[in-house]
Structures are given as structure tokens and as C-alpha cells.
Structure 1
């Protein structure tokens, strides 16, 4: 992994997203599926599973039968004919995901979702959907994570018989949001970095429908600059993560939009906890970062993690 190249990968996000949006407007990437599955299983590791977890929850909320599973699990669903298995691997070589394909029901239909055409995973699948994220020389799955979410939003639309044009519009708006965050780094970046770079690490919360943002953000802080970082769902925070606000120099990155923010404020306000709020207002925040499109939940889903990625890149470069 290379920090300068990672930062360059982030800087290419707007261009890559606009390219993806144009592709979605031109064609439904899932049109070649050829059948309407009764069940959907999304499998992968790491950030692939973060994206898959949110995507599967969205599908279930709209009446579809869908689950997301770690490819390393020995409890994969034993669902056969009529099942679509989407194997997600940016590199196409994740050993756990490749192993999982030998353990799914032989009558299930397997599709590879990858950023590496011709990789091993494509040879084990019936067909392939390309993430179109381009090479990531930094060695960190950043654009590919974002594109995984976008392509799974397109799968949701496809399974519900909806055109993917609306997804393309969201991806285009996310490109504009990303461009803004990149171009204004000098205005907000140093301050936000200083607030989040605490001696006890950082904590990240997001609503359940965008939990992947918290998970990916925490991963970026661990993977690049090797900072301690923990992800939590905003409502669950008051049940599992609140305790450290009492006896540590607690730093919280909050992605806006949860109906359960009162549970966070109950403890952060009286303890004067350091909080950075992104995409919306949170009472008592040390800093609030807004960007174009941040009132649209799907734009948030595809954009907000760039904040933590940029903080991670600059901490990593600083050594």
C-alpha cells in the first residue's frame, strides 16, 4: 500500500463516478441476468461485505429475499435453483470468496462483481459485472468500494423492475459531492483531521441504512495510517460504545441522518465530547461539514466516506 498513490486514487473519484453514471444511463449492467431470482446472496470479505450488508438490508426492506454473508462463513445459505449469488471481490482473487463459491448450492447462479476483468473469480462465475472503478495503485479498495455500492443499488432497481436512470443520477450527484470535498480540503481537512486524530483513536457512527460508511471509514483509518478506529450504528452506540466517553479522550465522527441521535447527545453533550458531524447538524459538534447533495440519503451513502478517506490519506502521508 502506498499513501501518495492512495491520495491520487481518491482524487480520481469524481471522474470515475461520472464515467460509471454514463455507463448506467447507457445500459442496465444486470440486464444479462436472464431470470428473476427468488433469493439473493451477496458474499465477500472486508469492505465488499460492508457494501453488501447495506444493499441486502435495502432489498429486504422492499420485499426481496436477500442476505449478505462473509465468504469465510461456514453457514452460507443452502439455497439452490432460483438463487442468485453475487460474489464480490475487487481484485477477483480473494481466497475466502473463491472458496465460498465451492460451497454454495450447485444449482444457484453465480455472478462475479469485480474490478478485475479476467481474474480468477470471473472464471468461476456464470458471468461478470465490472465495477468500472479503474486501477487503484494505492492498494486500497476506495473507488471499488464506492462502485460496489452503486452497482448493488443498480441490482436493487433491476430486481424491482425499475430503470437504473435514478441510480445514475445519484452516482452523478455523488461525483459532484466528491469533487466539492476534494476541492475544499484546505478549508476543512486540517481542522477535521486534528479533531479526529486523538490519542485513543477515533470512533465512527452512521445510521443502519448507511452502516457501511462507518465501517469503511474505520477501516480506512486502520488500514492506512494504522490508527485505532471503531465503527458503530448510531442507535446502537448508546448500548455498546458510549462507555469510553467517560474515561478516554473520545473522538467521534458522526454521519448525519439517524433518528436516534438523541441517544448520542445524551452523553456527548454533558461530557463535552469531541464530535465531527458530516452531512447534517448535530448539537454540540466541534465541527460540522456540509457538502452539495448531503440532504439525499443515497448521495450520502456514496459520498460521505471520502471524508474519512482523505483524513486517513493525509495522516498516512504525515507518517
Structure 2
């Protein structure tokens, strides 16, 4: 793992994501999947792949599909059999738990590998392959591949529900522009945001349920790179499980905007003087706010917003490496 490589990987997000938009617009990456014979969907993965899979499954369920997301390490895989599509995601193509899960599936399922590594072990274990097209990540951290996983699983959602990808392609292109904006303006917002968030007792990231993966991925970036304590939570659930620490710690919180439960959360954060940074819109009680083009569109938020903690993590990691 390399901090400078990670920073370089982030800098190339707009370029590589723009190419993904063009690719999805020109060719259906899920053409090998037959919607007519797909009755159920299971997403398998670990870490970032699992975060993205959980949101993809929830979005499919909201459309009326029977869909589940499971950690590949579980011993309780759905025994759904024929008519089931299993999407196994591993950027490297070598996640031991995911490969093991593929060996334990019931007979008759259709398996598709979603990976960034051609010819990897996972491609040999599945009947079809979808390329993440995120290009090699020099830093050794799943950042572009995570972003591309979300985009491609959104494309699968449209494929299974019989809709074209025009709207998604536009959202991906806007997310590329939004990512470029955050990168170009980093010097104006990142130092102050980092000072606010990187506290002595860690960083807490909060996102609405339909984008919970952003909080999980953002927290992972702070743990994986600079090795700082960080935790992700869902905005509504925060008032039930995380609020307690605002009373006893120097609590620093990044809030990805868009939940109807922000006012409830703010009752506690305001009362206890919590340091809050909002991303993507005005957040009650926030001391700082980071905005970007397209942040009024939920799919653009999903594909863009995690770049804020990623850049905070990248620079903190670089500083740690220098010291």
C-alpha cells in the first residue's frame, strides 16, 4: 500500500469514471444476464464490495425484486437454487472468502464475477464476467473500483427492471464532473475539514440508509490509509446507537446530507457542541459545508460524496508516511 499512489488514484477518478460512462452508454455490461430467467439476486463480497452490494440489494427490493446482499464469509448463504443470479464482487479477483462462498452455492444458480482484474481466480469460478474498468489502483486501496462497483450495480438494476441507461450515464458523467470539482478545489476546503474531523478520539461518518455505504466506505478509508479510528453509522440509527459518545468524547462527525432524520440527530449534536461537517447540502448544526455540482441529485451523491473523506484520508496518510 502506498499513500502517494492512493492520492494519484483519487486524482484520476474523473477521467476513469468518464470512460465508464461512455462504456455503459455504448454497450450493456450485463448483456449476459437474462432478466426473464432471473427470479432472485444475491450479492456476495467483503469490505467495500459488501458495502456497495447492500445498497444495490436494497434498491432492487424497492423495485419489488427479491434480492439479498451477504458477506461472503457467512455460513448462511441463501439456498435459492435455479433462477438465482449471484453477483460476486472482488476488485482484485482473489478475495479468499468470496472464492470460498462461490464453492458453496446451491446447484443451478447463475454466477457473474464483478472484478477489476482480468484472468483472476474469481473469473474462473463464475460463468460470466463484468469488468469494473477502474484500471489498476496504484495505492492498493479500493477507491475507483468501489465507485465503479456502485455504478455497474446501478446498471444491473436498470437491466433487470427493463429501463435504459441514459439517466444513469448522465449521473455518472455528472459525478465525474463533481469529482473533478472537489479535486480542483481541494485546497479551499480540505485543510479546514480535516482539522475539524480528525479529532483525538476518532471520526464518525453518518449517511442516510439509502446511501449508508458512503459512511462505511469513508470510515474504511480513514482506517485503511492513515490508520485512524473511524466508524460509519446510518443517520436515523445514530440517535439509537452512537449518540452516547457525544457526551463523553471529543466527537467529530461528517454527515452526508439527505436524511429526514437529521433534525433529530441535531437535537443532540447542538446540545453537546459536537463538531459537525456537512457534505452535499446544508446539515443542521454543521460548522462547515462541502458542496459540489450535482449534489441535489441522489445518484450523483452516491457516486461522488465519498471522495471528501478519501481526500482527507489521503493527505493524512501522506503526512503520516513523511513523519
> Which category of TM-score, normalised to the shorter sequence, fits these structures?
over 0.9
How many residues align structurally? Answer: 319
Residue of structure 2 in register with 1:112 after alignment = 113
Q: TM-score, length-normalised on structure 1?
A: 0.99
Q: Secondary structure at the match of 1:295?
A: coil
Unpaired segments of 5 or more residues in structure 2?
Answer: none
**C-alpha distance in 2 between matches for 1:263 and 1:222:** 28
Q: Measure, in 2, the Cα distance between the counterparts of 1:34 and 1:289.
A: 41
The runs of at least 4 aligned residues of structure 1 exceeding 3 Å deviation read: none
Gaps of 5+ in 1: none
**Alignment correspondent of 2:34:** 34
Structure 2 Cα separation of the partners of residues 258 and 62 of structure 1: 20
Aligned to 1:17: 17
Q: Distance in 1 between matches of 2:92 and 2:263?
A: 40
Per the alignment, residue 225 of structure 2 pairs with: 224
Note if 1:47 corresponds to 2:43: no
- Mapping for residues 137-286 of structure 1, pairs under 5 Å: 137-286=138-287
RMSD over aligned CA atoms reads 0.6
Residues in 2 aligned to 1:72 and 1:98: alpha-carbon distance in whole angstroms: 10
SS at match of 2:254: strand
CA offsets per residue over residues 150-198 of structure 1, 9 Å max, x none?
0000000000000112111111010000000000000001000000010
Cα distance in structure 1, aligned partners of 2:192 and 2:310:
15
CA distance in 1, matches of 2:89, 2:13: 20
Distance in 1 (CA, whole Å) between partners of 2:165 and 2:17 is 15
- The CA deviation string for residues 61-82 of structure 1, in whole angstroms up to 9 with x for no partner, is 1101100000000000001111
Shift of 1:33: 1.5
Offset of residue 28 of structure 1: 1.0
* TM-fit CA distance, 1:35: 4.6
For residue 307 of structure 1, what is the aligned residue in structure 2?
308
Deviations 1:106-132 (A, max 9, x none): 210000000001111001110100000
Q: For residue 283 of structure 1, report the CA deviation from its aligned partner.
A: 2.2
Deviation digits for residues 3-60 of structure 1 (CA, Å, limit 9, x no counterpart): 0000000000000110000001101111121353000000000000000000100000
